[in-house]
Amino acid sequence: GVSDFDVVVLGAGAAGLFAAMRAGQRGRRVLLLDHAEEPGKKILISGGGRCNFTNTGCVPDRFISANRHFARSALARFTQHDFIALVRKHGIAFHEKTLGQLFCDGSARQIVQMLLAECEAAGVDLRLRHRVTDVARADRFTIATDHGTFRAESLVLATGGLSIPKMGATGFAHDVARRFGLPIVTPAPGLVPLTFDGSALDLMRPLAGVALPVVARAGRAAFPEAMLFTHRGLSGPAILQASSYWQPGGPMTIDLLPGQDATTLLLSAKRARPKAEPRTILADWLPQRLAQSMAASHLPPRIMGELGDAALKALGALLRSWRLEPAGTEGYAKAEVTLGGIDTAALSSKTMAATAVPGLFVIGEAVDVTGWLGGYNFQWAWSSGWAAGEAA
Ligand code: FAD
């Protein structure tokens, strides 16, 4: 038999749980379907198991999209403060780690339990382990699964992006969108470690494990955060952030001594400590292994006093703006999010409804809106989920 609902939400992740909750609160009969055996699996592993559930400084310019104004409306209708109030209502203790990032004191599971409790109170019918085999639309939507067929007036697509296929991420939302004629902005891994080859990798690989504060720049964005050398290239928050702005084949630059003028430092060190080895001087400002490697690869083997000003100026310029050409990224297997997705040009920014397909809504990571690192992606899931839940 066919079961009838007002709203079917596909994907019980952050966005789907929130949309289902809100639609249920409005008295809609809501079915929430997921192919996984557990809801909110990405919430559970997020923020190192503590879930960075929002950011106190959430503003629209921290989101990447072909239409940089698109996220504004949904973010204003359900804000970070609204989500914080919900977390408080459920008595979940939290703290700010850094840069406005809010984490649970206890565990990410508390956020999933909160969302499930809200869904249950709102009468949402949650069914897991359902594989969707077909989605069609006539006067209503028909959703065929391996556990029966469902019909609904509204369909909310919340099956996420392509990141972490090992956890069940699929291109399902993009496939359904294409079927209904919605355009897609080419997806790419975002918030992802960068890989290098050639001499850059030769320099980086022995430094695996070394971390330091930098400013990483790609495109028009600059991120003053920590960087980490890995055996394949670079990672750490500064690099993950810059990766979302990096264009394949393009350059990026790293300031290895943020807030300092490396050239002035080196020239005055030459006068003050002429007998010192350059690596000893550099180790005053940089991690020792990096200092050693920079001196060995960019200076002749001389003491400071014997080095020409030109060589020191060249090294100073390099420390200030180390220009690198990444070979690529570590891909969806390591990407925290998916850039691109369903083109916002096809959606209402107020309701997340597809303007050309009455009753179809798209929310969360499936949409071409990608947040910075730091709780912004969950806030987009809550805000876009709320917008659709209000209208579906
Ligand atoms: P998802 O949460 O991915 O949910 C999609 C749901 O759809 C899943 O339950 C999935 O099982 C289901 N699904 C997929 N395909 C199908 C299908 N074909 N049929 C049925 N169901 C399907 N963001 C932050 O803001 N803060 C953090 O601390 C943070 N940490 C992260 C850590 C890691 C390791 C990763 C990978 C991501 C992290 N993110 C974080 C990003 C954040 O998890 C995502 O942006 C967010 O989960 C997107 O929500 P969503 O509901 O759109 O998609």
* Close Cβ partners of 308 (under 8 Å, ≥ 6 residues apart): none
- ipTM of the shown complex: 0.99
Tokens 């960075």 label which residue? 52
Residue nearest atom 25 in ligand 1 by C-alpha distance: 375
Question: How much is the average pLDDT of 361-370?
Answer: 98
Q: What is the position in ligand 1's atom list of the atom closest to the CA of 365?
A: 52
CB 90 within 8 A of CB 117: yes
DSSP state letter for 166 = G
SS3 assignment for 33-98: ECCCCCCCHHHHHHHHHCCEEEECCCCHHHEECCCCCCHHHHHHHCCHHHHHHHHHHCCCCEEECC
Give percent above pLDDT 90 in the chain.
Answer: 97
* pLDDT bucket at 267, cuts 50 / 70 / 90: very high
pLDDT at 126 over 90: yes
Tens of pLDDT, residue by residue over 173-217, are: 999 999 999 999 999 999 999 999 999 999 999 999 999 999 999
pLDDT at 135: 97
Global confidence as pTM: 0.97
Residue nearest atom 11 in ligand 1 by C-alpha distance: 36
* pLDDT bucket at 327, cuts 50 / 70 / 90: very high
- Cα(125)–Cα(119) distance, rounded to whole angstroms? 8
Tens of pLDDT, residue by residue over 4-22, are: 999 999 999 999 999 999 9
Asked if residue 86 has its Cβ within 6 Å of ligand 1, the reply is: no
* pLDDT bucket at 265, cuts 50 / 70 / 90: very high
* pLDDT bucket at 239, cuts 50 / 70 / 90: very high
Tens of pLDDT, residue by residue over 328-365, are: 999 999 999 999 999 999 999 999 999 999 999 999 99
- How far apart are the CA of 161 and the centre of ligand 1, in A? 7
The beta strands (E) that lie in 115-183 are given as: 125-127, 132-137, 141-145, 148-157
pLDDT at 170: 87
Asked if residue 80 has its Cβ within 6 Å of ligand 1, the reply is: no
Tens of pLDDT, residue by residue over 295-311, are: 999 999 999 999 999 99
pLDDT at 280: 97
Strand partners, 215: 224, 255
Alpha carbon separation from 72 to 171, 183, 207, 219, 382 (Å, rounded): 26, 21, 41, 22, 13
- Cα(109)–Cα(44) distance, rounded to whole angstroms? 6
